[in-house]
Chain A
Amino acid sequence: MIAHLLIGALAMATLLLLVDYARKNELTLKWWHWLLTFLGIIYAVFVLELIVGFFGEGAPQAALVMGGMTGIGAVIWGVLLRRFVFVKA
């Protein structure tokens, strides 16, 4: 239960930090930039829940394998957002 709360808090904190970052740096973001950001956070939550879920049912190997496979996607998504969306002018 506490793991789900932590994941939720982490996701919300990430979103708030990104909003704050965009405002402070006066970034010009279109609505679909925010959509991609939002989907990225949802995907990251999915990856973390996947890992927690597999550990929770006593399947550590599945947690590592599935977490690794889906986690790569989350990392790539994050890098692309940093490279093309949250770019300082």
Chain B
Amino acid sequence: MSNRISRRDFLKLGSLAAFSLPLTTIVGETGNYSLLESKEKYGGFTIKTLKDDAPLFEFGLNYTRFDATNAILSRVWWDDEFNEKADATETVYEKNDPGYTQVDKALSAGAAYVAMYEGTDSSIGYLGLHKGLMGLDPKVNAPGQGPSFDGRWEHDHLTSEEVTAIVKKASLFLGASMVGVTDMNEKWLYSHYYDGFSQTRAPIKVTKVEKVELPEGQVSPEDAKPLIKSELEKMDGQEVKDLLIDVLENIDPSLLPSNAPSPSFVKAVPVSKFEGQAGQLVSNLPKLALGVIAEKLGLDIEIAEVDPGESAKPRYLEDGTLAIPETMNKVIVLAFEEDYDGIESAPTHLTVAITQDGYSKMAVTGGSLAQFIRKLGYNAIPCGNNTGASVPMAIEAGLGENGRSGMLITPKYGPRVRIAKVITDMPLENDKPIKFGVEEFCKSCMKCAELCPSQAISYEDKTMESANISSNSDVLKWSSNPEKCWESWIANGSGCGICIRVCPFNKPESWLHDVTRIMIGAESGSIGSLLVNLDDAGGYGKKEPNMVFWESDNFIHIKD
């Protein structure tokens, strides 16, 4: 017999291989989920999406919305008994230990700079008022950067999928690592917010949008704007500029909102900028200035004291209540990847830098995305940790599953993400919740529970009971103990993050781990146990931190 491979046999073999490859991505249905092909964005996992009518969470009869006053980061402001216990906790680190050096702390301060800007931390890390970059109103005083003057973006020629794709592209461009959309589920809104900085506790309410009838002869500021705009566009740039300066110089500055342009700013803007763009340039002007301009333009209109569209806007009521109009029924959930090498250093002060960096990214992207939406003529509330529970919203928006640690487990980054959200009234298409084997894997893994220094993570099955007031009850979930978790923060003198570091889903991107991810997708307990053993054997998820942050990429070794 010849020692050559016959061409016929070789082709047979090739065809067999070609046909067998797609079989690795099974398409079909299983339980309440439909299988989806494995995509790059899902980090190699085979993803299943929840069917439309299938329940995602199980609630008890006594479920009530969580009061953010009881969250750990709120309790540190008011709960003296809890603070006394925390103060008695012994620390487990020494000054200048690796991860606690001046360099590490300086990095933490640098990473926190944006997050702390003008009280943004009130909405980002704490659960209080919308401030700074996460404010309800845009905080810019440049003409043209305020809310849209031209009305709503006309997108009738686009499908809702295309509109959603544009918003998602903007989200990723502005800095998000992942983005998903879901309906507003009021169950996840906090019943109250608590702002430690101002010691304010007030309800969060979804409010009715009411049509207010204006007295005859009066027009709303929103209706007056197009009238003024059409008159301004008949004038040349110099005339518009002079008019604006005249108006702004003759209004008491204290009566103008902080985001109104100043006369000196308008003077600095070249005349060409006022040509044909008058509408945009006066977009930030309040009712008071609009009235003066209308009068100077000789328009016979009276601008109403009451804004009939007020109830459709998010706002703080006089008693401090955060009013979210019922029309703001969509939530855009954003996830931000945290640095892998930084998380490897958990639980040192370096981990705080990584967390703060996540918060800063949340502020920049959340605030910027809200501004993008406002400029399209819709309302937007950028939220950090405040206003609503981020993890369930992210699960509903299809970003991941809930893990034993209580955190969001994403396919691509595992639990190594920070979450922000933007509540809006923009019509968007929802994403479907996904499933990729987390629940089955977490049942047998236990790594986060075993390695948690304060044993705050449960070894038990999911439950509707909560460990204490800092966790919500009557919703079926793995219940961790936030009070014990806080003990670790105190003991470490920083934060913690060990549960993120040791989670087997926290792996860098590589084909090696994609193989594991495909195996996790099999949702088998015995495969899960095997993978956890391999994870241990491979040296992943050890108790001690892996201090590689400063060494990786920079080739230096810090020993101070």
Q: In whole Å, how far is B3's beta carbon from the nearest beta carbon of chain A?
A: 4
Chain B residues whose C-beta falls within 8 Å of the C-beta of A29 in the assembled complex = 3
Per-position binary interface string of chain B over residues 523-543, scored 1 when its CB falls under 8 Å from any chain A CB and 0 otherwise = 000000000001001111000
| Contact partner, B510, options A23, A27, A35, A57, Cβ 8 Å | A57
Chain A residues whose C-beta falls within 8 Å of the C-beta of B6 in the assembled complex = 31
Chain A residues whose C-beta falls within 8 Å of the C-beta of B1 in the assembled complex = 28, 30
Chain A residues whose C-beta falls within 8 Å of the C-beta of B548 in the assembled complex = 58
Please name the residue on chain A nearest to B539 by beta carbon.
A61
| Contact partner, A62, options B5, B10, B538, Cβ 8 Å | B538
Q: In whole Å, how far is A89's beta carbon from the nearest beta carbon of chain B?
A: 11
Asked if A54 is at the interface (CB within 8 A of a chain B CB), the reply is yes
Q: In whole Å, how far is A17's beta carbon from the nearest beta carbon of chain B?
A: 15
Interface size on B, residues (CB 8 A): 20
Chain B residues whose C-beta falls within 8 Å of the C-beta of A31 in the assembled complex = 5-6, 9-10, 13
Which of B9, B512, B548 has the largest number of chain A CB atoms within 10 A? B512
Q: Is there an interface contact between B512 and A50, defined as CB atoms closer than 8 Å? A: yes
Q: In whole Å, how far is B123's beta carbon from the nearest beta carbon of chain A?
A: 36
Per the 8 Å Cβ criterion, residues 44-73 of A in contact with B are 50, 53-54, 56-62, 65-66
Per-position binary interface string of chain A over residues 28-42, scored 1 when its CB falls under 8 Å from any chain B CB and 0 otherwise = 111100110000000
> If the complex has contacts A31-B10, A53-B511, A53-B512, are A59 and B5 also in contact, measured as CB distance less than 8 A?
no
Q: What does DSSP make chain A's interface, helix, strand, loop or mixed?
A: helix
Please name the residue on chain B nearest to A19 by beta carbon.
B3
Complex Cα gap A56–B10 (Å): 36
> If the complex has contacts A59-B538, A59-B539, A62-B539, are A34 and B510 also in contact, measured as CB distance less than 8 A?
no
Complex Cα gap A23–B4 (Å): 10
Chain A residues whose C-beta falls within 8 Å of the C-beta of B512 in the assembled complex = 50, 53-54, 57
Asked if B203 is at the interface (CB within 8 A of a chain A CB), the reply is no
Q: Is there an interface contact between B3 and A61, defined as CB atoms closer than 8 Å? A: no
Complex Cα gap A56–B513 (Å): 13
Complex Cα gap A84–B151 (Å): 79
Asked if A22 is at the interface (CB within 8 A of a chain B CB), the reply is yes
Chain A residues whose C-beta falls within 8 Å of the C-beta of B3 in the assembled complex = 22-23, 26-29
Asked if B406 is at the interface (CB within 8 A of a chain A CB), the reply is no
Q: Is there an interface contact between A35 and B539, defined as CB atoms closer than 8 Å? A: no
Asked if B264 is at the interface (CB within 8 A of a chain A CB), the reply is no
Asked if B254 is at the interface (CB within 8 A of a chain A CB), the reply is no
Which of B3, B9, B552 has the largest number of chain A CB atoms within 10 A? B3
> If the complex has contacts A34-B5, A53-B510, are A65 and B537 also in contact, measured as CB distance less than 8 A?
yes
Per-position binary interface string of chain B over residues 2-21, scored 1 when its CB falls under 8 Å from any chain A CB and 0 otherwise = 11011001100100000000
Please name the residue on chain A nearest to B2 by beta carbon.
A28
Q: In whole Å, how far is A62's beta carbon from the nearest beta carbon of chain B?
A: 3
Chain A residues whose C-beta falls within 8 Å of the C-beta of B539 in the assembled complex = 59-62, 65
Complex Cα gap A62–B3 (Å): 41
Chain B residues whose C-beta falls within 8 Å of the C-beta of A66 in the assembled complex = 534, 538
Q: In whole Å, how far is A34's beta carbon from the nearest beta carbon of chain B?
A: 5
Which of A26, A31, A60, A65 has the largest number of chain B CB atoms within 10 A? A31
Complex Cα gap A56–B538 (Å): 14
Chain B residues whose C-beta falls within 8 Å of the C-beta of A50 in the assembled complex = 512
Asked if B377 is at the interface (CB within 8 A of a chain A CB), the reply is no
Q: In whole Å, how far is A4's beta carbon from the nearest beta carbon of chain B?
A: 12
Complex Cα gap A5–B546 (Å): 30
Asked if B508 is at the interface (CB within 8 A of a chain A CB), the reply is yes
Q: In whole Å, how far is B549's beta carbon from the nearest beta carbon of chain A?
A: 11
Complex Cα gap A23–B414 (Å): 52
Complex Cα gap A30–B540 (Å): 44
Complex Cα gap A85–B6 (Å): 18
Chain B residues whose C-beta falls within 8 Å of the C-beta of A34 in the assembled complex = 5
- Given A31-B6, A65-B534, output 7 extra A-B contacts at Cβ < 8 Å: A35-B13, A57-B512, A58-B546, A62-B537, A62-B540, A65-B538, A66-B534
Chain B interface residues (CB < 8 Å from chain A): 1-3, 5-6, 9-10, 13, 508, 510-512, 534, 537-540, 546, 548, 552
Show 30 residue pairs from A and B whose CB-CB distance is below 8 angstroms, ordered by the A residue.
Answer: A22-B3, A23-B3, A28-B1, A29-B3, A31-B5, A31-B6, A31-B13, A34-B5, A35-B5, A35-B13, A50-B512, A53-B511, A54-B512, A54-B538, A56-B510, A57-B508, A58-B546, A58-B552, A59-B538, A59-B539, A59-B540, A60-B539, A61-B537, A61-B538, A61-B539, A62-B539, A62-B540, A65-B537, A65-B539, A66-B534
**Closest 4 CB pairs between A and B?**
A61-B539, A62-B538, A31-B5, A29-B3
